[in-house]
Structure 1
Amino acid sequence: MASDDKQHVHHIQDLLYIIHTLERDSQDANVDQRLKEEAALGLLALSGSSEGHELMSSQVDVLAALSQARKGTGNVAKAAWDILVNLSAGTSQGECDCEIFLKFVDLNGVVKELKDRHEFSDKASAVLSNLSRNERGCALVLDAFMRSTDLGDNAPSGNEVQQGKGANLKWLVDLLCLANSPHCSSLASPVSTQPPLPLLGAIFGNLTQNPEARQALLNDDGLLLLRLLPFLSYQKCSSLRLGIISAVRNLCFEHSRHSLLLSNELDLLPRLLLPLAGPDEFTEEENEGEMWTSLHIIPFFFGIPAF
């Protein structure tokens, strides 16, 4: 390890020491808290640089300390979450080993904080979005989502999880609809008063890389997918809209389910074609004529093979 790297490691360790060893019952707790916040901000600044990012990702004590610090409240916990967001971004770029990251950062805990709309649930969604970008991380995040049920200690495992995948993703669809629906203010739910979670769209886009996630959304005649379709034209948040568009695109690669995707119940095709229609207006006679038949829109759109 180069001398500069050693200095950075010692600097990181010093900042962690300040955060975790200052006495809570000192004579001036406000001073201690300010020192902790400054130390946390110092770590956050380091995580934003490529050198600091690489060093922190390789220090297991850093990941363990951050995982513990994120469970608190206030500015220190917020900074810990922001650092984890920065470090998790490296898992999709090969800069940080996903397995090492998740060995010290409790994935199930992050999922639970998202599900329970924790104070930093938006940060949790960012971490999960980053982790699920690559194939291995996507499989691990999907498994955590599948196992996150309301059954507590009686949560299903093994074959039980395999049989109920659609049901176990329902809570994630519920969360997206409640947190981002334009009508959520009218719902008698405390969730509706909290900020939206636009990165849930990216999470769905990432998860549907996995065949198991695609099957889960298409089970039960596509009822879960049906609830996501209104977000294809959701104008309040482009990142959420693009995430759901990506998810629908991935679902189209399930060739055996094209009959469901083209069914009248889902009414997916008009939603996909409408943005391509352009500003032209046609008369009733033109709409009922042979013009649309000659375009051969349906076989062209769904006839593209998956690579």
Structure 2
Amino acid sequence: MSTSKDLEDLVEFLHHGNTQIRQISTEELVGYSQTHTSLFKRNQLEPVKDLKLLVKDYAPIAKNALTVLINISHDTEVLRSLANDDEFLGTLLSRITYAKEESANEIAMLLANMAKDDAMQRIFDLKRDIPAGLSTSKWAIDQLLDCFVKGAEGAYNKHANYDYLAYFFADLAKFKEGREYLTNPQAHDSDIIPLTKLQVFTDHTSHIRRLGVASTIKNATFRIEAHPTLLSNLSPDPTLPPPHQGANLLPYILLPLMGPEEYSPEDTDGMLDECQLLEPDKEREQDHEIMKTHLESLLLLSTTREGRDVMRRVQVYVIIRECHMQVEDEDVREACDRLVQIIMRKEEGEEEDEIPGAGDAGGRLVELKQGEDDEDDEDERIVDIL
């Protein structure tokens, strides 16, 4: 099928009354959706409207329709049509939380794309019927979080692992309301901090999960007022406001940066328990982009004096020093350098030797130069997963 007329006829079959014809049409259009976005925008997005309805069709048709929508949702006009459609969003939420939904992974991918539109911030205000066996919360965002957590390795739905919801949370964390949700204890959920449900996946076997969670963490750390909660490893922590919950985020960022190296007793003095006595087969994260994202999260957490003091106290420097030595990637090493310059520099009113670890290897991986401790535009930028 090569002519424009043929393709237009094929698109017309999306709303054909015959199930077999609709299925053939969606199958053929999957390939064209990667290169012919404009084909689906004709007649005021009529094909997109048809595809939205086909998401509720028979399973093979629904899967193809979702794949097409995923492929064309990079287009701003299409994305706006999807993200602003309340009925369509309701359909996706109902289906992704259904334990036998065969296209749950495709829905997760589409939701991740839709989260790039500002309209998706309304997800935090949506209430849904509570799916039995999945969640105890009426809030849509909680139900999606439960899908991600309980659905790992197909534990909730044998057809899905929900990995792409990691990208969904990462993009939602670009919004102020998203960062607040992720870092605030939830009174309706035993005061659990939602980010603590995600951070445990920083060492998961799925690359998609690790990358999405790392980016979610980084975006959440842009909320400076949440840093005391994120850095605290105590629950209850009397220094935090009620309900005094600490997130204990640091070990989940540091462990992917660590390998099987042994540290001296002096280096481990004060180090987080989770970071000590690691197995001899402990593997460091292999994806340099994920490593760099974790290092940027640490850099953001060092924005305040209190954050830098915590990192000094728990020996973050020696872990980053070892990472710098072991990883042969210039971007990772540069990120290590910048972090060390921030956490090991002399604070106002302090002498150099007052800073823990400052006497070790000069307290820096490279010399601190005027202006190098200023965060550039890249480090101020919210992560956008493509």
Q: Indicate whether 1:216 and 2:204 are aligned.
A: no
Q: Do the aligned partners of 2:151 and 2:161 also contact (CA within 8 Å) in 1?
A: yes
* C-alpha distance after superposition, 1:249-284 (max 9, x if no partner): 111111111100111132211222233344420233
Question: 1:43 aligns to what?
Answer: 29
Q: Do the aligned partners of 2:104 and 2:159 also contact (CA within 8 Å) in 1?
A: no
Separation of aligned partners in 2, 1:273 and 1:214: 21
Question: 1:140 aligns to what?
Answer: 119
Alignment of 1:1-307 (within 5 A): 8=4, 10-23=5-18, 33=20, 35-49=21-35, 52-59=36-43, 60-91=45-76, 96-102=77-83, 106-117=88-99, 118-133=101-116, 137=117, 139-144=118-123, 146-150=125-129, 168-180=140-152, 185=155, 191-220=156-185, 223-234=193-204, 236-264=205-233, 265-288=246-269, 297=317, 300=342, 307=380
Of stretches 239-248 and 12-21 in structure 1, the one that deviates more from structure 2 is: 12-21
What TM-score comes out, normalization by structure 1 length?
Answer: 0.72
Separation of aligned partners in 2, 1:14 and 1:304: 57
Separation of aligned partners in 2, 1:177 and 1:304: 37
- Pairwise CA RMSD: 3.4
SS state at 1:244 partner:
helix
Which amino acid is the alignment partner of residue 198 of structure 1? Answer: D
SS state at 2:160 partner:
coil
Per-residue deviation, 1:192: 4.9
Provide closer, same or farther for how the CA distance between residues 294 and 126 of structure 1 changes in structure 2, counting only shifts above 3 A: closer
Separation of aligned partners in 1, 2:109 and 2:12: 27
Of stretches 204-213 and 263-272 in structure 1, the one that deviates more from structure 2 is: 263-272
Per-residue deviation, 1:123: 1.3
Separation of aligned partners in 2, 1:170 and 1:213: 12
Which amino acid is the alignment partner of residue 91 of structure 2? Answer: G
Provide closer, same or farther for how the CA distance between residues 194 and 285 of structure 1 changes in structure 2, counting only shifts above 3 A: same
Provide closer, same or farther for how the CA distance between residues 301 and 43 of structure 1 changes in structure 2, counting only shifts above 3 A: farther
Q: Do the aligned partners of 2:127 and 2:140 also contact (CA within 8 Å) in 1?
A: yes
Quick one: percent identity of the two aligned structures? 22
Question: 1:159 aligns to what?
Answer: none
Separation of aligned partners in 1, 2:162 and 2:112: 11
Per-residue deviation, 1:63: 0.9
Separation of aligned partners in 2, 1:22 and 1:294: 66
Of stretches 247-256 and 293-302 in structure 1, the one that deviates more from structure 2 is: 293-302
Which amino acid is the alignment partner of residue 58 of structure 2? Answer: T
* C-alpha distance after superposition, 1:141-184 (max 9, x if no partner): 231353042279xxxxxxxxxxxx9955322221111111x6x7
SS state at 1:67 partner:
helix
Provide closer, same or farther for how the CA distance between residues 286 and 217 of structure 1 changes in structure 2, counting only shifts above 3 A: closer
Question: 2:354 aligns to what?
Answer: none
Per-residue deviation, 1:225: 1.5
* C-alpha distance after superposition, 1:215-273 (max 9, x if no partner): 01111165211121211111x20111110110111111111111001111322112222
Separation of aligned partners in 1, 2:182 and 2:269: 34
Per-residue deviation, 1:36: 3.4
* Matched residue count: 261
**Structure 1 unmatched ranges of 5 or more:** 24-31, 153-164, 186-190
**Structure 2 unmatched ranges of 5 or more:** 132-136, 186-190, 234-245, 272-311, 318-338, 345-372, 381-386
Per-residue deviation, 1:296: 6.9
Which amino acid is the alignment partner of residue 196 of structure 1? Answer: N
What TM-score comes out, normalization by structure 2 length?
Answer: 0.59
